[in-house]
Chains A and B, each alone.
Chain A
Amino acid sequence: MTKHSIETPKEKQNRHKAMEAINTINTMKDEFKNPIAAMDAFYELYEDVYCKQKALHEDAIKVGTMCIQIPSEIIYAFDAVPIRLCNGFYTDDEIGSDLLPQKACPLVKATVGHFASGNFSDKPHFVYSPTTCDQKTKAGATIEGFGYEVIDVDFPRMKESEISREYFRQSIKEFTVDLSRRIGKKLTRKRLKNAVHKIGYAQSLYHKLCEYRKKEHVTISGNDMFFITNAFFFDKIDSWTEKTQRVLEELKQREKENITVAAKVSPRIVYTGSPPIFPNYKIPMLIEQSDAVIVADETCSSNRMFNDMVAVDEWNIYGMLDSIADKYLKACTCPIFTKNDDRIRRIIDLVKTYSADGVIYQAFAGCTVYELEQRSVLEAMEKAGIPILYLESDYSPSQGGQLSTRVEAFIESLKMKKRKQG
């Protein structure tokens, strides 16, 4: 006799999330031409974590981070594991909607919802929350209400000034002391140096991947890149580098055999704006399904996380900590900062170096900083003669039709232009 049981709310959530996840994975696997075999390891990882709720770091101390500004280098130096908790699930977004204002950013809502449900495959022991954008800053308090330990980390909203540089350096020192007390370990020079090198190596692999995207024949799709970079949120770092190395090997082979993911006329797109986080790859997929290819991005789930490496002059703790702080502040192009010419210059530079045909700027409805910056970026692109499309989206699966019309039209116009130019 089969035993019937009523599905608990948790099981129901997991079922919904698994559906969302497998949907994205399957689309990735089936609907694009010339899939990369080595990517299967990544798809499998996502399936394990999001469909099968498999824990990856059972014994380790897991340190939750709410934004990219919490330095992974320092966490790794204590032999702990950083888990970035930015969330892309619509299921969680819906849970969060009851807890945050209706017009709040879906990413924050989903993250809060995730904590509210308490449904983690790798549950963080404690969470560090940098004071980046308003919504994330305030989300910390809400999350604390569900019984999590949330530690706020000071983060300045200006990066040009001397005072903010000193402020964040001090903040990072305090974060380090706090972490060291919680874990009960001392920070040693050797461990920190190794951690800096380890992450630096992972970043160097990302830069190698990007070299293939600069070429005329693009051998890896933007969505696969998002899969790879997004996995860095939660994957074991050694296993991530191994998988990425395998992808690199395959890309080398593909380049020789001239296997590409896009046709010659496919417009090359630079993607910027609110971060696409698994499984919310709605817009990137739409772009690449419309016969364009994303060659570069300027988002905090991908490029911004990997682009800048820690540069150390004196490899002692004082030198490394300060360099780490500088990397997360000075090099960051997040729109939360007051003035943000750096972000505009980064986008223009990306368009140039990746010989892109246009920019797609996507902001989540409610992600105020990206919405606010939209106008200045559009103006700057117009000035530079770069076609740009601004889209507003959210996590709901129902929005497809209207968005796809706009994306397709934009890509078609880029294609026309490209054909004309020959």
Chain B
Amino acid sequence: MKKIDNMNLNKVRFTIQVITFLLIVYGGYIGLDLGDKLPTFACVFNPEGTGGKCYLGMIQHDLDHPWQAFLGFAGIAFLISLFIFVLWVWVLNKAWCGYVCPLGTMQDWLTSLRKKLKVKFIEYDWANRESIKKVKWILLILLLLLPFMVSNSLLGLPKLPGGLTMPFCDICPGRMLIPAFVGDFNQFYIDFSNPTDLIMTSLGMIVVGLFIVGSFFKKRFFCYFCPMAAFQYIFSKQSLFKLYKDGSKCTKCGDCYNACDMDILEIADDIKNKNLVTEDCTLCLKCVAACPEEGCLEANFAGKTIFKSTKEGFILRMAMNQQIQKESNND
């Protein structure tokens, strides 16, 4: 236990992320198939390599049916799919984002590159940070509603064009970037066949560009807007995997907030709630690693503490456990 509490989280996390990245992006080549309800961006546009499939793509596909269809077997099938998605969330909660998501991992790699180049990251101010939160919910609602409106006329509105059956996939940077990792750059294109596809694919290209610039300058840039994060959060409270905080031990020093890639203010300032998995949390556990107070923050799985903040662990991680020689080239 002590060994885990003292671990160098960044290294451990980097390793886990590399492994999960390989499994999700190249797993298909070794026959891995985790099904098509994964709460993470395992991309269908990488059909040979992917080790599973993203549920956001699947749910858009499922919703593109006339409403009558849901009264029959399709309705049951839809609920089953949703249930399986919830099961996946139940197991890992938002750690899917912090440890598995290939898009998240790519962003973390860009962050390491920025760190190496010694370029300072961008911070949002608190007011903007707060208003950005809504975007992911709007995107989630749109991605559920638009495919449904392709097959149904809602409120007397005409049915939407077929180019909107997978609206989120059109603008998701995963569609372009994940296949790129298996050498397939064919998803970088603009579709001129009709106005809807033209707009959606152009948006997609713009989003990829923004993704690359954004996540270079801002840690986990895309995750602030990710509808998957919103979708997971709906089922997060029941999950087995939790981030707990003991408010009485908190000094509000803000070290956790400083470490947080998602700029979650509650992690430092909330001393009342125990469950600190907020809507933007990626359960990366960097806050636990940055907390100097004994047992103030902890990662908990099914009621068992698996990693908690300790003074000793903090000192080790900050490399403050040994005397620095005056002219040492410690780097």
Residues of A within 8 A of B (CB): 160, 162, 165, 189-190, 193-194, 197-198, 200-201, 203-204, 207, 238, 241, 307-314, 316-319, 322-323, 326-327, 330-331, 333, 342, 345-346, 348-349, 352-353
Residues of B within 8 A of A (CB): 115, 118, 120-121, 125-126, 248-255, 258-259, 268-269, 271, 286, 290, 292, 294, 311, 314-315, 318-324, 326, 328-331
**Which residue on A lies nearest to B329, using beta carbons?**
A190
Q: State the 7 A-B residue pairs at the shortest beta-carbon distance, nearest first.
A: A200-B320, A331-B253, A311-B255, A330-B254, A318-B120, A197-B324, A313-B259
Which of B118, B121, B259, B326 touches A311 (beta carbons < 8 Å)?
Answer: B259
A365 to chain B, nearest CB (A): 29
Q: How far is the CA of A314 from the CA of B330 in the complex (A)?
A: 15
Given contacts A194-B328, A309-B314, A349-B248, contact A241 B323 (CB under 8 A): yes
Instruction: Check A200–B315 contact: CB distance below 8 A.
Output: yes
Q: A165: which B residues are within 8 A, CB to CB?
A: 254
A145 to chain B, nearest CB (A): 37
18 contacts between A and B (CB under 8 A): A160-B269, A194-B326, A198-B323, A198-B324, A200-B315, A203-B320, A204-B315, A238-B326, A241-B323, A308-B253, A309-B292, A309-B314, A309-B318, A313-B286, A326-B258, A330-B254, A330-B268, A345-B251
Instruction: Check A311–B120 contact: CB distance below 8 A.
Output: no
Given contacts A162-B125, A313-B258, A327-B253, contact A207 B311 (CB under 8 A): yes
Q: How far is the CA of A309 from the CA of B115 in the complex (A)?
A: 22
Instruction: Check A197–B258 contact: CB distance below 8 A.
Output: no
Instruction: Check A330–B318 contact: CB distance below 8 A.
Output: no
Given contacts A193-B330, A200-B318, A331-B253, contact A311 B290 (CB under 8 A): yes
Q: How far is the CA of A419 from the CA of B22 in the complex (A)?
A: 64
Instruction: Check B320–A331 contact: CB distance below 8 A.
Output: no
B93 to chain A, nearest CB (A): 23
Q: B250: which A residues are within 8 A, CB to CB?
A: 345
**Which residue on A lies nearest to B291, using beta carbons?**
A311
Q: B125: which A residues are within 8 A, CB to CB?
A: 162
Instruction: Check A204–B330 contact: CB distance below 8 A.
Output: no
Given contacts A194-B324, A311-B292, contact A316 B330 (CB under 8 A): no
**Which residue on A lies nearest to B327, using beta carbons?**
A194
Instruction: Check B323–A348 contact: CB distance below 8 A.
Output: no
Q: A316: which B residues are within 8 A, CB to CB?
A: 115, 118, 120
Instruction: Check B249–A349 contact: CB distance below 8 A.
Output: yes
Instruction: Check A313–B118 contact: CB distance below 8 A.
Output: no
Which of B253, B292, B321, B331 touches A190 (beta carbons < 8 Å)?
Answer: B331
Q: B324: which A residues are within 8 A, CB to CB?
A: 194, 197-198, 201
Instruction: Check A330–B320 contact: CB distance below 8 A.
Output: no
A135 to chain B, nearest CB (A): 26
**Which residue on B lies nearest to A343, using beta carbons?**
B251
Given contacts A311-B318, A330-B252, 7 further A-B contacts (CB under 8 A): A190-B330, A309-B315, A311-B253, A311-B290, A311-B292, A314-B115, A331-B252
Given contacts A200-B318, A207-B311, A322-B258, contact A345 B253 (CB under 8 A): no
Q: How far is the CA of A241 from the CA of B330 in the complex (A)?
A: 19
Which of A201, A314, A333 touches B121 (beta carbons < 8 Å)?
Answer: A314
Q: A313: which B residues are within 8 A, CB to CB?
A: 258-259, 286, 290
Which of B254, B323, B331 touches A326 (beta carbons < 8 Å)?
Answer: B254
Instruction: Check B248–A345 contact: CB distance below 8 A.
Output: yes
Q: A204: which B residues are within 8 A, CB to CB?
A: 315, 320-321
Q: B251: which A residues are within 8 A, CB to CB?
A: 307-308, 331, 333, 342, 345-346
Q: A309: which B residues are within 8 A, CB to CB?
A: 292, 314-315, 318, 320
